[in-house]
Structure 1
């Protein structure tokens, strides 16, 4: 099995937001939750619990975002 980019989930104090997702994305989140549970040995997470760690991982590995962030922090 391929290694997933998302590691074990860490509990943190949440901030509540509401979003709408296309049905296909929701189905993919459900499938990802199954794969994530199998790989990490953690109980299957609710799909909404996967979104924040996925966004965190995405932003942490986006070179363009990191460059833009460094540039904007330098302007302050």
Structure 2
């Protein structure tokens, strides 16, 4: 086996999720998309923004990160 510097690239196959949100959250997401477009000069549909919003939320949740590390330690 060759010891390459680059590790194996993880699976990047998108997984489609279908969710239902309440009207107030839907409006907030629409508003976010409008503000995003004003800020960056680029329209993005809510369906493209939601994954980035969720990733940013999870990345900023320190308690989640610590708990997830514990899960990894137990399953490894």
TM-score bracket for the superposition, by shorter chain length: 0.7 to 0.9
Q: Which has the higher contact order (CA 8 A, sep 6+)?
A: 1
In the alignment, structure 2 segments of 5+ residues that lack a partner are 1-11
In structure 2, what is the Cα distance between the partners aligned to 1:61 and 1:53? Answer: 12
Q: Which residue of 2 aligns with 1:48?
A: 47
How many pairs were matched up? 64
Query: Where has structure 1 moved over 4 Å in runs of 4 or more?
Result: none
Structure 1: gaps spanning 5 or more residues: 1-11
Higher-Rg member (1/2): 2
What TM-score results when the alignment is normalised by the length of structure 2?
A: 0.75
- Do the aligned residues in 2 keep the contact of 1:26 with 1:47 (CA within 8 Å)? no
